Chain A
């Protein structure tokens, strides 16, 4: 199982690498265009008074991955409870999150499960779209994502980030005589959903890589624990066997002596 997890993790890491050029280029365009846009004019940029929040909780479909799911769900639940659970809609990704929040009667709006094995960008787009719709329709005023960030093989960190409204530096920019088609504002309008989709894709990949890394480590621990156990038990067994043999020998010797 450790080997399987290791292979899957490598695959996820490769995909993370592959997604980087795309997401970097998109961020560049956004940074270039956004300072020029009036925040109020676009729904996806509007900063509203926060009355209701949505949480996207990215967990795994399966357990046996150490504290991977437990830590994540603990932090997510704590944040949700702090804000007030009746004012939070939850998008569950992975069976573990769905079961956890459904069982506790939280307000689960959507759950996406069973796609990790053949994870495609389509999945991220689908989730992205429904999350964006939920924000633009005005149902919630802020969207958070809680996921496991892949630091390295030995370390994963639960992170909670704000997905919407988009935050950016309102720094200065250099005007150029580039051509924009359609207008800058319309460009940004189509750009942001693209950006959020790739963001969602990154969250999925980070989480998947973390899950496999956590599983790899816990399976390695399980194997070495089992080996220790076997060693201890073998020793105990041998001791018991030796004791039995010794007793038997003593009895035979004792018997022989009594006869002689």
Chain B
């Protein structure tokens, strides 16, 4: 299987992977996989899980919203946040989930619904990926 290079860029760090043979990203309408020689393009990503298959091993990352740019021989992901599955502090994730749930029930008019919903999705996602 031919491999390609992947670059994941966030506002606070940059991660580079060499010889990745398969990459799974959370698209807006569900996950999609990228193998080498994929058609070039730009894809929007939602909150979810990124799987990187490299040297016979899988690595999982929790990600925020962003974009995937696919070129001939490389892939560049631009995402707002990125955390490796084993680096996620599951207690912190649980706490923020608790907070988000509480806010949802409180019906606070100052905090807008979409924002509460978004933080709930993020917290759930981090918790899910941390169990990998």
The answer for the CA separation of A186 and B27 in the assembled complex, in Å, is 13
A178: chain B residues within 8 A (beta carbon): 39-42
Task: From known contacts A29-B69, A197-B80, infer whether A179 and B40 are also in contact, taking CB-CB under 8 Å.
Answer: yes
Count of residues in A whose CB is under 8 Å from the partner chain? 30
Judge whether B40 and A176 touch: CB under 8 Å. Answer: yes
Residues of A within 8 A of B28 (CB): 181-182
Contact B43 A181 (CB under 8 A): yes
Contact of B44 among A25, A125, A181 (CB under 8 A): A181
Residues of B75-132 contacting chain A, CB below 8 A: 76, 78, 80-81, 112, 115
Q: Mark B41-62, 1 if CB is under 8 A from A, else 0.
A: 1111000000000000000000
Count class of interface residues, chain B = 20 to 34
Provide the residues of chain A in CB contact with B39, threshold 8 Å.
178-179
Cβ-defined contact, B80 with A129, below 8 A: no
> Which residues from chain A contact B69 at a C-beta distance below 8 Å?
25, 29
- The yes or no answer to B12 lying at the interface (CB within 8 A) is yes
Chain B 24-43 residues near chain A, CB threshold 8 A: 27-29, 39-43
Q: Point out the residues of chain B lying under 8 angstroms from A197, CB to CB.
A: 80
Residues of A in contact with B (beta carbons under 8 Å apart): 15, 18-19, 21-23, 25-26, 29, 33, 121, 124-125, 129, 133, 176-182, 186-187, 190-191, 194, 197-198, 201
B14, B66, B80: which contacts A125 (Cβ < 8 A)?
A: B80
A198 to B81 Cα, complex, angstroms: 12
Q: Are B41 and A181 in contact (CB under 8 A)?
A: yes
A18, B78: Cβ atoms under 8 Å?
Answer: no
Residues of A within 8 A of B112 (CB): 133
Contacts of A21 in B (CB 8 A): 9, 14
Q: Is the CB of A194 within 8 A of B9?
A: no
Q: How far is the CA of A23 from the CA of B70 in the complex (A)?
A: 18
- Given A19-B12, A197-B80; 8 other pairs, CB 8 A cutoff: A19-B11, A22-B9, A121-B12, A178-B42, A179-B40, A181-B43, A194-B66, A201-B11
- Distance between Cα atoms of A196 and B28 in the complex (Å): 20
Contacts of A177 in B (CB 8 A): 40
Contact of B11 among A23, A180, A186, A190 (CB under 8 A): A23
Residues of A within 8 Å of B67, CB to CB, are: 26, 29, 187, 191, 194
A18 to B82, CA, bound (A): 14
User: How many angstroms from the CA of A164 to the CA of B70 in the assembled complex?
Assistant: 29
Which residues on the B side are within 8 Å of A194 (C-beta)? 65-67, 78, 80
Contact B81 A129 (CB under 8 A): no
